[in-house]
A = this chain, B = another copy of it.
Amino acid sequence: MNKITELFKIKYPIIQAGMIWCSGWELASAVSNAGGLGIIGSGSMKPEILLDHITKCKKITDKPFGVNIPLIFPYAEEFVNICIQEKVKIVFTSAGNPAKWTPFLKENGMTVVHVVANVKSAIKCEAAGVDAVVAEGFEAGGHNGKEETTTMVLIPMVREAISIPLIAAGGIGTGRGMLAAMALGADGVQIGSRFVASNESSAHPLFKRKILEAVDGDTKLSMKRLQPVRLLKNKFFDDVEKLEIEGASVEEIANLLGKGRARKGMFEGNPDEGELEIGQISGIIKEIEPAAAIINEIISEYIQAKKELFIFDF
């Protein structure tokens, strides 16, 4: 037991990140049934789709699960209302001001967690009354902070700045990674990429295969002048990079991005023209496995690595 298992009433302080196009009811329920905290990623859903995922998730697990809501998303308010109506008890908010929704969510009996990438935002979260903070490092897939602070540096900084529970994210996909995050002062870990590469994720099989093939250096932060996002390198990534090197305007880059690139890449499996959001840790993922097997492996490796830790003998 620790602060995170007590907060969410879960067995292990392992949280599956709510990710667009990849984490629906199937993945979230599998993680929750295995003792972690599963999260439905609403950022790629319409309201009726989210409602459907929540309904299915409740049918297949009696364990706690959560919903991730990107606050800048046009449906954010509708999603909040759906979560209240459906008695979802845990909401992870991201990409927006935590002060806007936290009081309302708390009044409705919810546990609220907000995702940040820097110290200032973590302090704002605590002031806004959130229950826990996810601090996400530069190595994480998808949307990313402008500070480019890595998990190794961000976690101890945030740990020092706030006293509410802290969840580390970015670069964590194994038991050793979890042990490192806990050593840095985290109370739990949020894992994205490794769960994208699970049987239950709704990522397209071609995207999953690309993850297994990735080696170090195959992901990179893109669109730094819009909103930085970590992508697997492909034709689409190269097209964006070319524009950026040529000194294109923000509008020109936004035009290239257009609409539906993420869906095209991650859900429809177009590896050239689509946007493939994934973290650096993709480079060490070598197998597609059931979510429960991933959690069990993480726990075994954590226990073993902890036993092998260097001891100072004087």
Contacts and interface: CB of A to CB of B under 8 A. Distances in A.
Contact of A280 (B2, B150, B310): B150
A139 B157 contact: no
Contacts of A215: 119
Contact of A154 (B174, B216, B299, B312): B216
Given A177-B184, A247-B247, A156 B216 contact: no
A195 interface: no
A107 interface: no
Interface string A180-210: 1111110100000000000000000000000
Given A150-B150, A152-B137, A221-B148, A179 B170 contact: no
A179 to B, nearest CB: 4
Contacts of A247: 245-247
Contact of A170 (B13, B145, B152): B152
Interface in A249-302: 280-281, 283-284, 299, 302
Interface of A: 1-2, 12-13, 118-119, 137-139, 145-154, 156-157, 160, 170-172, 174, 176-177, 179-185, 187, 215-217, 220-221, 245-247, 280-281, 283-284, 299, 302-303, 305-306, 309-313
Contacts of A152: 137, 139, 150-152, 170-172, 177, 180
Q: 8 shortest A-B CB distances, which residue pairs? A: A147-B217, A152-B171, A247-B247, A180-B180, A179-B183, A150-B150, A180-B183, A153-B280
A149 B12 contact: no
Copy total for this chain: 2
Interface centre among A145, A146, A172, A302 (most CB of B within 10 A): A302
Contacts of A303: 312
A157 B171 CA distance: 11
Contact of A216 (B118, B179, B183, B283): B118
Nearest to A168: B152
26 contacts: A2-B310, A118-B216, A138-B138, A139-B152, A147-B217, A148-B220, A148-B221, A149-B217, A150-B152, A152-B170, A152-B171, A152-B177, A153-B171, A153-B280, A153-B284, A157-B283, A160-B284, A176-B184, A176-B185, A179-B183, A183-B309, A247-B247, A299-B312, A302-B312, A303-B312, A306-B309
A150 B184 CA distance: 15
Given A153-B281, A184-B176, A13 B217 contact: no
A31 to B, nearest CB: 16
A259 B246 CA distance: 27
A183 to B, nearest CB: 4
A305 B183 contact: yes
Nearest to A182: B310
Given A2-B310, A149-B283, A180-B180, 16 more contacts: A118-B216, A138-B138, A139-B149, A139-B153, A147-B216, A147-B217, A148-B220, A149-B217, A176-B185, A177-B184, A179-B180, A180-B183, A185-B305, A187-B310, A246-B247, A302-B312
